[in-house]
Amino acid sequence: MEGVVGNWKEYISYLDEYDAVGDNWKDDTPVSNWNPDSKYKDMVYPRHFATNHWWTKSDYVKKLQNPIEYEKKFSKFVNRVSWETWISSYDGNFKEVRNDISKEPNNAYQNRKSKK
C-alpha cells in the first residue's frame, strides 16, 4: 500500500495511458507454483495485482462485471481470487509500477495456520 497510496500522484499520472495501475502484477499462474499441496493445485490463479491495491478510471470500471456476480465464478475456492482478479477481468491495459517480491508474504500463504 505504501507505493500505491504514498505515491498516488505518480500512480494516477499513468491513467492517461493505462486502465489500472498498481504493484506486484502477476500473470496467470497455476496454484501449484506457490502451493503444491493445495487441493486446488490444478487451478490457474488469474492475472492480478497481488497487493490488491490499485488506481483505475470509472470508464474502465463500467466495463467490468458486477463484482458480486464475478465472485460467484470462484465459489469452489477462496473469495480472495475474485477480490484480487476482478480489476483485471476485462481486457484492459495494466501498468505495474513496482514489483518488490521481498515484501510479498509467500511464507504466509504457504503456512496460514502457523500464525507467523
Q: Give first-to-last CA distance, the chain, whole Å.
A: 21
Domain housing 94: 2-101
In a domain, 38, yes or no: yes
The answer on pLDDT for 116 being more than 60 is: no
pLDDT tens, 68-91? 888 888 766 566 788 889 999 999
Domain count, the chain: 1
Distance, CA of 51 to CA of 21 (rounded, Å): 11
In a domain, 30, yes or no: yes
Strands (E), the chain: 20-22, 25-26, 29-30, 44-45, 48-49, 54-56, 94-96
Q: Please tell me the predicted confidence (pLDDT) of residue 39.
A: 83
In a domain, 111, yes or no: no
Three-state DSSP state, 29: strand
With contact defined as beta carbons under 8 Å apart, do 19 and 60 qualify? yes
The pTM of this model reads 0.77
